Chain A
Amino acid sequence: MSMSQKLVDRLRGEFGDAILAATSYRGDETVTVSRDRLLDVLGHLRDIEGCEQLSDIVGVDYPKRGERFEVNYLLRSLSNNHRLRVKVDVAEDQPVPTASRLWRSADWHEREVYDLFGVPFAGHPDLRRILCHHEFEGHALRKDYPIEQGQECSRPEHLFADEDIVRAARRASVMAAGPDALHDEVHPSDLLTVNIGPSHPATHGALRAEILLDGETILEARTEIGYIHRCFEKEAEDHTWAQVMPYTDRLNYCSAMLNNSIYAAAVEKLLGVEVTPRCQGIRVIVSELARIIDHLVCVCANLVDIGALTNYWYLYNIRESIYESLEKLCGSRLTTNYARIGGLSHDLYPEFGAEIRIKLDELMAGHTDVMKLIARNRIFLDRTVGVGAISRADALSFGFTGPCLRATGLDYDLRKAAPYSGYEQYSFEIPTGTNGDTYDRIMVRMAEMVQSRSIVLQALDKLPAGPVNLDDRAITLPPKRNVYQSIEGVMNQFKLVYEGIQVPAGEAYGFGEGANGELGFFCVSDGSGHPYRLKVRPPCFPIFSAYTHLIEGAMIPDAIATLGSLNIIAGELDR
């Protein structure tokens, strides 16, 4: 009996009738609870069962049911290493109690469910739309909302109203009344609102922050996202499972290989199949290369933002060099579209291993150069140490994962905690920081590149021979020989392409360690060839929700340095 199953039994003992149902499918445990006991169950799970993180909140729309919406809470305990999905059913316009007082990450997740499904969360501190614009009408992910029905936006939204500024000034006056007071009273006219983004060199994508300044100090900040909401989830429902693959490339476009592999693995989990050892090995190799590229882009852009331009040239050219091999492998530099459900598009080319070994040596040379330039550089240290720091407890509550969580000193990595794709065969370390500040986040990424290089080298050495695709005609395409020479082959190809892979009805959450943390795909199938619902759990969505918390009280240059180190990729943030 697994940890999670024992947990479900304990919950039944504790809450009895409030647990309406408990199911176990593909290794995921789900409990359905009654709406009025939801907060009690969630609070118990957090406080007694050690579920420190709320990974995601997923809405699903079933228009034919009386209680139309399902709201799924994806919980994770890092200390006990178990997961649980808590489900409630709600009818239209029926409020669900907010979980934002239990986990701070719930704030944005609930706003998203409200925006896309229209489920109201009672007691939520700031229930506004998050991805769609403020003039949008209707709820886009409801099944009755037509995918192509666009709505124009006439003007951007102001994030600070006049009364917010008055309130902030009053608060600042109270704070300024202490013995270290710089001035006696803050008038609203003393405060300055500065808008950063969504087209700004430091935002690395379409993010927007509005900050309220008292002198040079950030009193309050508000962020707005959704500028590059490309409706991944709605598009997925409109395509077959296999057709979703190129859309995953464009989530985190700095590490498309990771998205490809983790998405394919999530659908394979729902199918209940396991790919061949060679496929697993290749996925590990390309995923780790993608992780290296992602960290390179993050670190070099972060360094450019704080004025260390030289490092950009040292690091960016290595990435360019790795891209040459990836382009040779799959025909494209950024948007790789390499993995397939049940395998890969094709095998590696023969010289791939030898080329990558040379490029990884270049990486180490560039890495050493950059470390020489920054590790003891006074300006760099002054700009990063203690800047944008977050405590471990806050990081967990905000849903931090990946390098940003490890920077707070917690050695949690899904490749170790829940090994997949054969990661258990490789020896590598989990680099951690101590203070959770910008310096630690950069250094954790620098150290992770070295570990990823080691994993790639081990995987190249161990890479087993054999096929890369499953020999299952219900999942992978038949060999071209069969398609051209037999009617069965033609029919097989036709049905797989037009109708899609028939994934059995059910739901599963597949996840892996993305470049910036836990990347998960919550897949719901109704047994047809199309996803009924596909929810991405992007690592940077909860991380960016903590941004205002990180920069309040700091100065604008600190805010810029902090933002770069969080590695927010807008394509993944807004989907």
Chain B
Amino acid sequence: MAVDLENPSNYMTTRLRQAVNWGRKYSLWPLPFGVACCAIEFMSTVSSYNDISRFGAELVRFSPRQSDLMIIAGTISYKQAPILKTIYEQMAEPRWVIAMGACASSGGFYNNYSTLQGADRVIPVDMYVAGCPPTPENLLFALTQIQDRVEREGLVPAAVRHAGRIPV
């Protein structure tokens, strides 16, 4: 059956980029890089009370190849850093990264021989969430911020977005 293109209520026009980004925005698949206390708050965010699925991001994937949003939940040590970098590189573009909590953002109150002073020393980070650990509401707010960015710049790969900013 052919669509009646004469009647304007039968169709809408948009740009491909907008349509794709709109879809992508509500279907972010997070990879929780859960290492410490923040991972427990990530569990709270996923559980039924805070319910991350209201934002379309409940499909938690531990395989980097299946996910496009990495949530670094916890302290990154020097021992962990090469693993974080490998897993990030295994994620497909376009990809986003949330540094959840003080440790992932800056090392937090651990300034010592074992703790990396922020995950952005090894991989590019798109959003930093304050708190030690951040509350689930705080993490959900960061997620909506990422969604806004996805809508604006969705098809731009992270390598381009962060070009020149990150030591690789």
On A, residues with C-beta under 8 Å from B are: 131-133, 140, 145-156, 198-201, 204-206, 226-231, 234-235, 246-247, 250, 253-254, 297, 301, 312-313, 316-317, 320, 323, 333-335, 570-571
In the assembled complex, which residues on chain A have CB atoms less than 8 Å from the CB atom of B81? 152-153
B118 within 8 A of A: no
Near A by CB (< 8 A), chain B positions 114-168 give 114-116, 132-133, 135
B39 and A205 contacting across the interface, CB-CB below 8 Å: yes
B27 within 8 A of A: no
Given known A312-B47, A320-B47, contact A133–B113 (CB-CB < 8 A): no
B75 and A228 contacting across the interface, CB-CB below 8 Å: yes
In the assembled complex, which residues on chain A have CB atoms less than 8 Å from the CB atom of B49? 316-317, 320
In the assembled complex, which residues on chain A have CB atoms less than 8 Å from the CB atom of B41? 333-334
A323 to B40 CA separation, bound complex (whole angstroms): 12
A148-B111, A153-B78, A228-B77 known, 7 other contacts, Cβ within 8 Å: A148-B113, A151-B78, A152-B81, A156-B79, A156-B83, A198-B83, A316-B47
- 1/0 per residue, CB under 8 A from A, across B39-59: the answer is 111011001110000000000
In the assembled complex, which residues on chain B have CB atoms less than 8 Å from the CB atom of A146? 113
B23 within 8 A of A: no
Q: Which residue of A is nearest B64, CB measured?
A: A199
Q: How far is the CB of A547 from chain B (nearest CB, A)?
A: 18
In the assembled complex, which residues on chain A have CB atoms less than 8 Å from the CB atom of B110? 230-231, 235
B92 within 8 A of A: no
B112 within 8 A of A: yes
Q: How far is the CB of B27 from chain A (nearest CB, A)?
A: 20
A335 and B132 contacting across the interface, CB-CB below 8 Å: yes
B91 within 8 A of A: no
Interface of A is mostly: loop
Q: How far is the CB of B166 from chain A (nearest CB, A)?
A: 16
Residue with the highest number of chain A CB atoms closer than 10 Å, among B34, B77, B81: B77
In the assembled complex, which residues on chain B have CB atoms less than 8 Å from the CB atom of A131? 114
A313 to B48 CA separation, bound complex (whole angstroms): 7
On B, residues with C-beta under 8 Å from A are: 33-37, 39-41, 43-44, 47-49, 62, 74-75, 77-83, 87, 109-116, 132-133, 135
Q: Which residue of B is nearest A234, CB measured?
A: B112
Q: Which residue of B is nearest A201, CB measured?
A: B62
Q: Which residue of A is nearest B81, CB measured?
A: A153
Q: How far is the CB of B15 from chain A (nearest CB, A)?
A: 37
Q: Which residue of B is nearest A575, CB measured?
A: B114
In the assembled complex, which residues on chain A have CB atoms less than 8 Å from the CB atom of B40? 253-254, 297, 334
In the assembled complex, which residues on chain B have CB atoms less than 8 Å from the CB atom of A148? 111-113
Q: How many A-B residue pairs have CB under 8 A?
A: 132
A150 and B80 contacting across the interface, CB-CB below 8 Å: no
A317 and B113 contacting across the interface, CB-CB below 8 Å: no
A133 and B79 contacting across the interface, CB-CB below 8 Å: yes
24 A-B pairs in the complex with CB atoms less than 8 angstroms apart: A132-B113, A148-B113, A150-B112, A150-B115, A151-B113, A153-B79, A156-B82, A204-B39, A206-B35, A206-B36, A206-B74, A228-B36, A228-B74, A228-B80, A231-B110, A231-B113, A231-B115, A235-B112, A246-B109, A313-B47, A320-B44, A320-B49, A333-B41, A570-B36
B113 and A147 contacting across the interface, CB-CB below 8 Å: yes
B79 and A229 contacting across the interface, CB-CB below 8 Å: yes
A231 to B47 CA separation, bound complex (whole angstroms): 31
A335 to B40 CA separation, bound complex (whole angstroms): 11
B133 and A335 contacting across the interface, CB-CB below 8 Å: yes
Q: How far is the CB of A61 from chain B (nearest CB, A)?
A: 15
Q: How far is the CB of B139 from chain A (nearest CB, A)?
A: 12
Given known A145-B113, A150-B114, A231-B110, contact A317–B37 (CB-CB < 8 A): no
In the assembled complex, which residues on chain A have CB atoms less than 8 Å from the CB atom of B133? 253, 333-335
A334 and B37 contacting across the interface, CB-CB below 8 Å: yes
In the assembled complex, which residues on chain A have CB atoms less than 8 Å from the CB atom of B114? 131-132, 140, 150, 229-231
A140 to B78 CA separation, bound complex (whole angstroms): 14
A253 to B74 CA separation, bound complex (whole angstroms): 11
Given known A206-B35, A333-B135, contact A230–B82 (CB-CB < 8 A): no
Q: Which residue of B is nearest A203, CB measured?
A: B34
In the assembled complex, which residues on chain B have CB atoms less than 8 Å from the CB atom of A312? 47
Contact among B35, B109, B111 for A228, CB-based, below 8 A: B35
